[in-house]
Amino acid sequence: MGADHVRRLDRVISGARVAAVADPDAERAKAAAAGLAGVAVHTEPGAALDAPGVGAVLIASPGPAHEAALLAAFARNLPVLCEKPMVPDPAGALRVVAAEARLGRRLAQIGFMRRYDAEYLRLKALLDGGSLGRPLMLHCVHRNVSSPPGFTSAELINSSVSHEIDAARWLLGEELTAVTVRRPVSSGGAPAGLVDPQFVLFESERGVLVDVEVFVNCGFGYQVRCEAVCEAGSARVGEEHAMVVTRADGARREVARDYLVRFADAYDREVQDWVDATRAGRVTGPSAWDGYAASLVAEAGVRALESGGRVAVEPAPRPDLYAAVSR
Ligand SMILES: NC(=O)C1=CN([C@@H]2O[C@H](COP(=O)(O)OP(=O)(O)OC[C@H]3O[C@@H](n4cnc5c(N)ncnc54)[C@H](O)[C@@H]3O)[C@@H](O)[C@H]2O)C=CC1
Ligand SMILES: O=C1[C@@H](O)[C@H](O)[C@@H](O)[C@H](O)[C@H]1O
């Protein structure tokens, strides 16, 4: 993901250039910076933050490394775009929230890119417009072709479903308050011991039910869908994003293989917005509080997976700096 963001900053985005790249794996750092002129390459993240020309930082290390990177950026007053999950452990996520609240101003935008996807944006505008009445249910599908090596049953929730958690909070404009996880029969295509697929059911403050089928070794494509069922109609996104090829023997709809294809436009819009806001001295998009809320709900989901029961979500007090759900 980091290499893709480097490419994006270099070739797609206007108003920014890559000044430094850090990865403890020197080969990966060099590969990410290959072909770019004037880029400092480091294996020590702190050294990259202090490199000449660095005015903002994009974090795309694994989730457990995000807390240290965010705090290091805050200590240098650097605006940050941090990939999801902000910090997978809610206690660590809360430390990030507390550190930013102590600064008294936002520096972090969290990389929940669904909020920048054209289809999700249309769904959000429709729900906010009110013509369908109140949302009653969201039915979501999140399928990956295959999971990365070492992917755990907990990561189906705190890495993959974290996107649906944020999208549901954003679309509904309210918190998720409880979660239950059911285990269908596991797929023979999943690595041994991985609970895949899972069926995750969230409840919201106002009683909206949000169900998510997450299946990260489906083998047949990268599919992300969301259908909102409301009092006066329903709206579904996630099926347009494909070319249909018709030949004499029939029609064939292409299926994306991964997120880099399906959400390419969303990542571009997300990073361009971040660069534009940063240059204007503003911080927009999903906040550190949204990142904390997603981690807290996901952690409740992991406990629900383990216990088989319904787990309530119990948030810490929200600092005044943050909206309940940023728009
Ligand atoms: N928004 C989205 O759709 C997606 C987001 N992601 C997120 O991007 C992040 C990275 O994921 P992947 O690229 O799939 O992981 P990856 O494991 O392929 O790459 C992570 C890289 O970070 C490096 N690294 C480890 N510790 C580091 C540190 N302290 N500082 C700097 N670099 C460090 C590793 O050496 C590795 O090269 C994760 O937070 C993940 O959840 C990943 C895929 C899609
Ligand atoms: O964020 C992402 C990955 O980290 C995660 O592992 C995948 O399941 C998601 O589809 C992708 O968007």
Domains of the chain listed by start with CATH number = 2-83 (3.40.50.720), 114-312 (3.30.360.10)
Give, using CA atoms, the residue closest to atom 18 of ligand 1: 1
Nearest 5°: phi and psi at 315? -75, 155
Taken as a whole, the chain contains a residue count of 327
Closest to 42 measured CA to CA, from 18, 63, 9, 78: 18
Question: Given this model, what pLDDT does residue 111 score?
Answer: 98
To which residue do tokens 């399928």 refer?
143
Q: How far apart are CA 63 and CA 152, in angstroms?
A: 14
Give, using CA atoms, the residue closest to atom 3 of ligand 2: 160
Question: Given this model, what pLDDT does residue 197 score?
Answer: 98
- Name every residue whose Cβ is closer than 8 Å to that of residue 51 and which is 6 or more positions away in sequence: 19, 20, 40, 42
**Counting ligands in written order, which one lies closest to the CA of residue 256?**
2
Amino acid 167 reads A
Cα 29 to ligand 1 centre (Å)? 12
CA-CA distances (angstroms) from residue 69 to 162, 252, 287?
20, 45, 16
Please give the sequence-ordered ranges of beta strands (E in DSSP) within the chain, or none if there are none: 20-22, 40-42, 57-59, 80-83, 108-111, 135-143, 176-182, 198-204, 209-215, 223-230, 233-237, 244-247, 250-253, 311-312
Question: Given this model, what pLDDT does residue 327 score?
Answer: 81
In tens digits, the chain (327 residues) has pLDDT values of 999 999 999 999 999 999 999 999 999 999 999 999 999 999 999 999 999 999 999 999 999 999 999 999 999 999 999 999 999 999 999 999 999 999 999 999 999 999 999 999 999 999 999 999 999 999 999 999 999 999 999 999 999 999 999 999 999 999 999 999 999 999 999 999 999 999 999 999 999 999 999 999 999 999 999 999 999 999 999 987 788 999 999 999 889 999 999 999 999 999 999 999 999 999 999 999 999 999 999 999 999 999 999 999 999 999 999 998 888
Nearest 5°: phi and psi at 82? -110, 125
Nearest 5°: phi and psi at 125? -65, -40
Question: Given this model, what pLDDT does residue 239 score?
Answer: 85
Give, using CA atoms, the residue closest to atom 1 of ligand 2: 160
CA-CA distances (angstroms) from residue 30 to 50, 73, 165, 188, 253?
18, 22, 35, 38, 38
pTM of whole model > 0.95? yes
Our answer on whether the CB atom of 3 is closer than 6 Å to any ligand 1 atom is no
